[in-house]
A and B are shown apart, each in its own frame.
Chain A
Amino acid sequence: MEEMITFAEGAEEAALATMLAEIIESNLESGGPRTRAFQNLKSAVYINAADAGVEITLLFKRGHLEIHAGKPVRPDISIEADSANLLDLTNLKIRGGLPFFFDETGRGVVKKLLRGELKIKGLLRHPLELVRLTKVLSVA
């Protein structure tokens, strides 16, 4: 069976890459809406943990994810934040198929977006893809 998540050369050396792969893998094992979101997601997502000096790109290809170190392609969605703020995204709850912004974590994410502590590019151009990405990454 073809692996759903693969690493491009050198990507596995970035701990962030293996961490996100583990989170996504675990979500896929649980099935349901997260798996459906993964099957539909087709985007290049660039993630930059600025304080840690770590950058990776997640290439989602409808049911397959390829993880690259750095920014090998022009991303559809870019996320830039400090390490701790980045993890907040994975703690967003999903309610009614959408990210839930009305609990403490959700409000925290909104505040960080407004303050510029969490920067997401592509938010307006690819809202559906961002919702899918949030589902795929959410551990909450």
Chain B
Amino acid sequence: MAYTYGTVEWEQGYRDLVERRLAEAEKPFILGTPEWVASYEKLVQEDARYKEAAKNWEGSVVIHILAKPEKGLDRDIYLFMDLWHGDCRFIRLVPREAGEKGDFILTGELERWEAVMSGELDVIKAMIQGKIKLKGHLPTIVKAVKAATRLVELAGEIETKYVSQLNEAEVESLRNLLATTGAEFGI
């Protein structure tokens, strides 16, 4: 069944999907999957350092990972973070149309994001080098650079299986998952 984003049914369906995946998926979770995103959400919501650094922050941030079909990532992923004054209301995967409406959109190739999240590449450095591109009011994000950096650090704290490390069977499994979530949730 295909749900429409923004409806109660979509919300409930997405929650059910996350619960099911959290119970069934093998750890470490694959970067960008619903179960990985749910783990990330929990971490951000419980992090005191993020809360302090982001106490003046207002607006949504979207991590936009560009598609990498040869690794099973058949389309772009939009990870939407609804953030408000240190609170993380939610982090979830959203359809492209919703992702493009984020206040701040950080876009990069899969390899760049993997490098950033694994701590190999500093996110500020990546932006200065043009490896991660920002759409949104730059001075606002520069002002909140500590909060932004903490968000990225937290992503690195999750035990993660990176998409670039997947074997053929796992690539196929990711492709199937994306096909299902794409058809049902548009994500």
Chain A residues engaging chain B, CB cutoff 8 angstroms: 13-16, 19, 22-23, 26-27, 49, 51-54, 82-84, 86-87, 90-91, 139-140
> In the complex, which residue of chain B has the Cβ closest to the Cβ of A85?
B124
Chain B residues engaging chain A, CB cutoff 8 angstroms: 122, 124-125, 127-130, 133, 137-140, 142-143, 145, 149
Report yes or no: B139 in contact with A23, Cβ–Cβ below 8 A. Answer: yes
Report yes or no: B130 in contact with A15, Cβ–Cβ below 8 A. Answer: yes
- Residue pairs across A and B with Cβ atoms less than 8 A apart, 17 shown, are A14-B130, A19-B128, A22-B138, A23-B138, A26-B137, A26-B138, A26-B139, A49-B125, A51-B125, A84-B122, A84-B149, A86-B128, A87-B124, A91-B142, A91-B143, A139-B139, A139-B142
Cα of A89 to Cα of B139 in the assembled complex, Å: 12
Known contacts: A14-B130, A15-B129, A52-B129. The answer to whether A84 contacts B124 by CB under 8 A is yes
Q: Pick the contact of A83: B128, B138, B143 (CB < 8 A).
A: B128
Which residues from B are CB-within-8-Å of A52?
125, 128-129
Which residues from A are CB-within-8-Å of B149?
84
Cα of A13 to Cα of B125 in the assembled complex, Å: 15
> In the complex, which residue of chain B has the Cβ closest to the Cβ of A51?
B125
Report yes or no: A90 in contact with B142, Cβ–Cβ below 8 A. Answer: yes
> In the complex, which residue of chain A has the Cβ closest to the Cβ of B143?
A139
Which residues from B are CB-within-8-Å of A13?
130
Which A-B residue pairs are the 3 nearest by beta carbons? A15-B130, A139-B139, A83-B125
Which residues from B are CB-within-8-Å of A26?
137-139
Which residues from B are CB-within-8-Å of A27?
139
Report yes or no: B122 in contact with A51, Cβ–Cβ below 8 A. Answer: yes
Report yes or no: A83 in contact with B122, Cβ–Cβ below 8 A. Answer: yes
- Distance between B148 CB and nearest chain A CB, rounded to angstroms: 10
Q: Pick the contact of A15: B128, B140, B142 (CB < 8 A).
A: B128
Cα of A84 to Cα of B145 in the assembled complex, Å: 9
Which residues from A are CB-within-8-Å of B128?
15-16, 19, 49, 52, 54, 83, 86
Report yes or no: B129 in contact with A54, Cβ–Cβ below 8 A. Answer: yes
- Distance between B141 CB and nearest chain A CB, rounded to angstroms: 9
Which residues from B are CB-within-8-Å of A53?
129
Cα of A140 to Cα of B142 in the assembled complex, Å: 9
> In the complex, which residue of chain B has the Cβ closest to the Cβ of A21?
B138
Which residues from A are CB-within-8-Å of B145?
84, 87, 91
- Distance between A127 CB and nearest chain B CB, rounded to angstroms: 24
- Distance between A46 CB and nearest chain B CB, rounded to angstroms: 15
Which residues from B are CB-within-8-Å of A90?
139, 142
List 9 additional contacts besides A27-B139, A51-B122, A91-B145; criterion CB under 8 Å. Answer: A13-B130, A15-B130, A15-B133, A16-B128, A19-B138, A86-B128, A90-B142, A139-B139, A139-B143
